Structure 1
C-alpha cells in the first residue's frame, strides 16, 4: 500500500480509537457514579474512586483491543543500551521543563485573575484519609499507567513509523488537548515530548510511566502544610529546573535540524480528527470563566 494512503488509514484508526476512549470514559463514569452514590460513598470519595475504576476498565479494554487491531505490542522491556544515567537525565529534563512551564503559566494566570479564571480539576488533598488514599492511587498510579499505555504505548507505537519527531509532536498535542484546559495542557504538552523521547530511546514505556508518576507525586506534595518541607521542595525544584535547562540546551545543540515527513495538520484531515479538535476546543473554552 502507498505510504500516504497507509498514513491516512492509520490516523483515521487512531482518531477513532481516541474518540472511543473519550466516549467510553464518559459512559462508564455515568454508570459508576450512580452505583457508588447508591452504595452511600461520599462525594469526595466518588470524585476520585469513580475515575480510577473507569480508567482501569477502559484502558484494559482499549489496550487489549487495539494491540491486536494495530498489530503491535506495547514495549515493556527496557533496551539493554539504555543506561540508568540516561534515565536520570530524562527525569531531570522532563520534570524541569514541566515545572518551568507551570511556573510561567501560573504567573500568567495570576496576572489575569481579575479578568478571567482558568478552571482546572481539583486534585488537592482532603480531610478524609481514605479519600486521600484514593486520590494518591488515582493521580500517582492509575492515571500515569493508563495514559502511558494509551498515548506512549498505542498511539506513539503506531505513529513512530512516520518519524519519531512527527509522532512525538502528535502524541503530545493529543495528550495536551485531552486535558481540556490551558493551565494543564501547555505543561502537559512539554512533558509529553520528553516522555515520548524517553520511550523511543529506551524502547519501553516503563521509564515514561515512572517519570509521569514522579511528576504527579511532586504535585501532590504541594498540599503538605509544613513551611520547612515546602522550602526544601521549592529549592529542589529550582535546582532541577536550572539543571534541566542546561541539559536541554546542550542536548539540542548537538542535534541536527528536525525534519517532519508529514505536517501536523495532515493528522487531523479526517472527520474523527476534526471532531477531536472541536471537542477539545469546546472543553478549553468551557474551562475559561470571565470575571
Structure 2
C-alpha cells in the first residue's frame, strides 16, 4: 500500500476509534449527570426512568455524532441476500450456544478475579437486571439497546472496516463490542455473538438481520426467565434448553463452516493500521479502565 493511501486508511481507522471514544465518554457523562439529578431529587419517574435513560439515553447523543464523525469513510457495497426463517432459526440456535459457553467462561474468570483480589464475588450484571422493572428491561435491553448497538458496532464500525475484508471487520468489531461491555462476565459471549451478528449482517447485507437477532438473544437471555414461575417444570425446561441448544448449535456451526461466505475488501487487512491510531488505542484503554473500576468499587 502506498504511503499516502496508508496514511488515509489510518485516518479512517482513527475516526472509528474516536467515534467509540465519543460514545464511551458521553455514556460516562450521561450516567454521572443522571446520578446527580437522581440524588438531587430532580429526576421525574423515579428508578424506572433512571434505568431506562441510563441504558440507552446517551445513544441519542452519541450515535448522530459518531456517524457525523465517520461520514467521509467509504462504505463498501454489500451483496443483498434474503433473510429466511430457516436462516434466522439457525443463527438463533448457534447464538444461544455461543452465549452459554461465553457466559460460563466469563463468569468463571469473573469469580476468579474476585477471589484473587480477596473480594466478595459480585455479579453486577445480574444485580442490575434483578433491580430493573420488566417494562424497562423489555424496552431498554431488548429493543432500544440492540438497535443502538447494532447501529454502532455493525453498521458504523463493521460496515466501514469491511474495506479490509468482511472477516477482519467481523473480528475487530466483535472484539470492540466485547470490550465495550467493560466486564469479564459479558466480554466472551459478547465477542462470540459479535462475530455471529457481523456475519449475519454481511451475509444478508441488511442491518435489520443483526438487529432482530440481537433482540432475540437479549430477550431469551435476560427477559424470558422473569416471565416463568419460580417453581414447576417451565424453569427446569428453560435451564435445560441452554445446553441442548448449545449442542445443536455446535453441530450446525461445524456442518456449515465450509459454506460460510466472506467477501474480500478493496484494501489489504492490517491490524497495525486499524489499531495503530490514538483514537482506537484510547477507545480500548477506556474499556479496560471501565472494567477495572468494577473490581475497585
Q: Distance in 2 between matches of 1:249 and 1:268?
A: 31
C-alpha contact (below 8 Å) 1:94/1:191 kept by paired residues: yes
1:249 shift after superposition: 1.5
Q: Distance in 1 between matches of 2:262 and 2:278?
A: 32
Query: Within the alignment, does 1:267 sit opposite 2:274 as a pair?
Result: yes
Q: Distance in 2 between matches of 1:151 and 1:255?
A: 21
Corresponding residue for residue 56 of structure 1: 60
Structure 1 residues 175 and 66: CA distance shift in structure 2, 3 A: same
Aligned pair partner of 1:235 in 240, 248, 259: 240
Output the TM-score relative to the length of structure 2: 0.82
Aligned residues, how many?
284
C-alpha contact (below 8 Å) 1:123/1:135 kept by paired residues: no
Output the TM-score relative to the length of structure 1: 0.83
C-alpha contact (below 8 Å) 1:140/1:216 kept by paired residues: yes
Q: Distance in 2 between matches of 1:149 and 1:143?
A: 10
Q: Distance in 2 between matches of 1:184 and 1:25?
A: 18
C-alpha contact (below 8 Å) 2:146/2:211 kept by paired residues: yes
Aligned pair partner of 1:244 in 233, 249, 265: 249
Secondary structure at the residue paired with 1:70?
A: coil
> Equivalent residues in 2 for 1:29-108 (5 A)?
29-35=31-37, 37-43=41-47, 45-63=49-67, 65-66=68-69, 68-70=71-73, 72=75, 79-108=80-109
What is the RMSD computed on CA atoms of the aligned residues? 3.2
1:253 shift after superposition: 4.9
Corresponding residue for residue 182 of structure 1: 184
1:109 shift after superposition: 4.5
C-alpha contact (below 8 Å) 2:164/2:270 kept by paired residues: no
Corresponding residue for residue 230 of structure 2: 226
C-alpha contact (below 8 Å) 1:125/1:135 kept by paired residues: no
Structure 1 residues 272 and 257: CA distance shift in structure 2, 3 A: closer
Deviates more, 1:243-252 or 1:163-172: 243-252
Structure 1 residues 255 and 51: CA distance shift in structure 2, 3 A: closer
C-alpha contact (below 8 Å) 2:158/2:198 kept by paired residues: yes
Deviates more, 1:189-198 or 1:252-261: 252-261
1:287 shift after superposition: 2.0
Q: Distance in 2 between matches of 1:132 and 1:255?
A: 37
Corresponding residue for residue 8 of structure 1: 10
Corresponding residue for residue 284 of structure 1: 291
Deviates more, 1:274-283 or 1:52-61: 52-61
Structure 1, unaligned runs of 5 or more: none
1:90 shift after superposition: 1.6
C-alpha contact (below 8 Å) 1:55/1:142 kept by paired residues: no
Deviates more, 1:262-271 or 1:145-154: 262-271
Q: Distance in 2 between matches of 1:180 and 1:5?
A: 30
Secondary structure at the residue paired with 1:234?
A: helix
Q: Distance in 1 between matches of 2:36 and 2:77?
A: 34
